[in-house]
């Protein structure tokens, strides 16, 4: 069963997508098929999380099957596996899709079959990115996950959806082509595309610099970091609510995951060399994203720019290059997916009822829409990192780790925590409190059962991770320690000393 778990996890949404496409006419039947497939995939994702051995280093549940032979680069395999970095991303991806399907009837009113097909196909692509242990397979899934989002925004998006989709495609296409160049160079130089073998190998420093630049550029566009971030607000604003949840919850994490797996772990010498600059880029994203979010008057744009700031923390933690910061970066990626996903759903709830996202259109909802106010407060406090919520744990670990290796950048990053509280709590005050400025806000439709079912689990996860993060941190610890051991020899050679060499028998921190 363990050997079949990952192919089954990957194959279910892929088969489900085509089952929906070929199913008889009838929107209700198609939605039930999609939901059944998504729930089965989520159940497998939870089983994977529970069965994952926290005390075992390396890839688990591995699966290999021959695919085709690539001249000059050996055999390309369908190779799958998870470690402590990817297992959380796989579980998060599997959990978010049924939540998106729950709320889709309120947002997707036309061409339902196509929407469900693209959503399940995108789930298969996202899971494949986190599971692939072959460079060619990784690249195929990377591209497969991008195509459905193009159609989801372009068909079911807002008024400026064509502009947003073209901008999204141009940015991601440039990044993908650059990454392909780096992939080809590594494959031809080493004669293999096997990720596990490449992660153990010591590549030539010049090759590392070239390949790291190619891969990192693609991942930085995907995160996105400043100045490659401008596609993100347009995509978020124009996407339907479900598209925004998947984009924020999972697809942006493909970039942060890539930076760790194919940046730090595969090209450690180049990662050490470029780490200070990338950490600076992360801090710029934190401060810039926070300031721009503070200036927004559109609810959805505010949440979109907050993503730039939150993912800046993930980039800072990834390139502080110590275990504490790396664990914080992995955990904060999960936290952002949960909290920001909930915020986008909450934006969609108001838009369905008022058909506006302007913050000035609301006020006093704590009195007229108390259930909504309760959920928005929880998501807001998690987003600003209140102790007891998931955001606090991730940001605390990142800042603690960054203080050990990059103290001044950690101080500037801490400014982002303050700014985050300013713009998020300011949004909450304007939407929920004060007088009821518009009479239409007195008669808003109560939360629907599907909205409760979508939002309640996300809020529960925010509190559970905030109060008891040990199950997640235990699963990431060994993988992050292995990353630190991978970069330590190059830190010593460069004189960087971001993480001092370990005495014998002592674990990295």
CA 493/CA 484 separation, integer angstroms:
14
State the pLDDT at residue 1. 60
* 509 lies in some domain: no
445-468 pLDDT, tens digit each: 999 999 999 999 999 999 999 999
Q: What is the pLDDT of residues 333-342, one digit of tens each?
A: 999 999 999 9
Q: Taking residues 231-258, report their average pLDDT.
A: 89
Is residue 85 a part of any domain in this protein?
Answer: yes
Our count of domains for the chain comes to 1
Is 500 a residue whose pLDDT tops 90? no
In this model, does residue 179 exceed pLDDT 50? Answer: yes
Closest CA to 58 of 197, 245, 216, 221: 197
Indicate the pLDDT class of residue 503, thresholds 50, 70 and 90.
Answer: very low
DSSP alpha helix (H) spans, 201-247: 205-222, 231-238, 241-246
pLDDT digits (tens, 9 = 90+) for 200-210: 888 888 999 99
DSSP letter (8 states) at residue 132: B
pLDDT at residue 494, as a whole number = 62
Range of the domain at 247: 2-493
**Any domain includes 156:** yes
Is 249 inside a domain boundary?
A: yes
Query: What is the structure's pLDDT at 466?
Result: 95
Could you tell me if residue 505 is inside a domain? Answer: no
Q: Choose among 103, 142, 370: nearest CA to 245.
A: 103
* Mean local confidence (pLDDT), 90-104: 93
Instruction: Let me know if residue 484 belongs to a domain.
Output: yes
For the stretch 485-498, pLDDT in tens is 999 888 776 654 44
- pLDDT attached to residue 373: 94
Given a cut of 80, whether residue 507 has pLDDT beyond it is no
Task: Give the 3-state DSSP-derived string for 24-37, with helices as H, strands as E and coil as C.
Answer: CCCHHHHHHHHHHH
The lowest-confidence range among 43-52, 310-319, 389-398, 491-500 is 491-500
The whole-model pTM stands at 0.92
pLDDT above 80 (res 501): no
On whether residue 503 sits in a domain, the answer given is: no
pLDDT over 70 (residue 40): yes
d(CA 356, CA 281): 34
Whether residue 474 lies inside any domain: the answer is yes
């Amino acid at each position: 069963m363990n050997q079949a778990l990952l192919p089954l996890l990957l194959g279910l949404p892929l088969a489900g997508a085509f089952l929906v496409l070929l199913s008889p006419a009838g929107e209700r039947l198609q939605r039930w098929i999609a939901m059944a497939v998504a729930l089965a995939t989520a159940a497998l994702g939870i089983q994977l999380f529970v069965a994952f051995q926290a005390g075992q280093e390396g890839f688990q549940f591995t699966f290999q099957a021959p695919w085709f032979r690539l001249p000059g680069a050996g055999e390309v395999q369908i190779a799958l596996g998870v470690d402590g970095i990817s297992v959380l991303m796989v579980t998060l991806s599997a959990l978010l899709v049924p939540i998106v399907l729950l709320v889709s009837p309120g947002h997707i009113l036309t061409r339902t079959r196509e929407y469900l097909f693209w959503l399940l196909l995108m789930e298969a692509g996202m899971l494949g990115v986190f599971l692939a242990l072959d460079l060619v397979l990784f690249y195929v899934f990377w591209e497969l996950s991008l195509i459905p989002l193009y159609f989801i925004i372009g068909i079911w998006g807002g008024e400026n959806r064509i502009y947003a989709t073209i901008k999204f495609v141009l940015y991601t296409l440039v990044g993908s082509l650059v990454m392909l160049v780096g992939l080809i160079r590594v494959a031809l130089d080493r004669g293999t595309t096997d990720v596990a073998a490449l992660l153990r190998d010591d590549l030539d420093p010049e090759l590392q610099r070239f390949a790291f630049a190619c891969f990192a550029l693609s991942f930085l566009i995907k995160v996105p970091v400043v100045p490659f971030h401008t596609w993100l607000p347009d995509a978020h604003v124009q996407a339907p609510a479900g598209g925004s949840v998947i984009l924020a919850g999972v697809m942006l994490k493909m970039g942060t995951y890539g930076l760790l797996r194919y940046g730090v772990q595969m090209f450690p010498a180049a990662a050490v060399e470029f780490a200070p600059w990338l950490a600076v880029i992360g801090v710029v994203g934190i401060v810039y994203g926070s300031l721009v979010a503070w200036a927004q008057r559109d609810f959805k744009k505010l949440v979109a720019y907050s993503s730039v700031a939150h993912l800046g923390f993930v980039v800072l933690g990834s390139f502080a290059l110590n275990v504490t910061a790396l664990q914080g970066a992995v955990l904060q990626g999960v936290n952002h997916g949960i909290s920001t996903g909930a915020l986008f759903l909450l934006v969609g709830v108001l838009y369905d009822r008022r058909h506006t996202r302007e913050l000035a259109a609301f006020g006093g909802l704590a009195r007229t829409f108390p259930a909504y106010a309760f959920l928005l407060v929880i998501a807001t406090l998690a987003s600003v990192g209140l102790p007891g919520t998931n955001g606090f744990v991730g940001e605390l670990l990142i800042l603690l780790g960054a203080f050990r290796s990059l103290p001044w950048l950690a101080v500037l990053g801490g400014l982002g925590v303050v700014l985050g509280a300013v713009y998020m709590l300011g949004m909450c005050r304007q939407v929920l409190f004060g007088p009821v400025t518009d009479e239409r806000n007195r008669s808003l439709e109560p939360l629907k059962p599907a909205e409760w079912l979508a939002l309640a689990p996300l809020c529960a996860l925010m509190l559970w991770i905030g109060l008891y993060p040990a199950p997640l941190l235990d699963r990431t610890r060994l993988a992050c320690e292995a990353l630190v051991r991978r970069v330590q020899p190059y830190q010593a050679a460069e004189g960087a000393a971001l993480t001092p060499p370990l005495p014998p028998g002592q674990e990295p921190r």
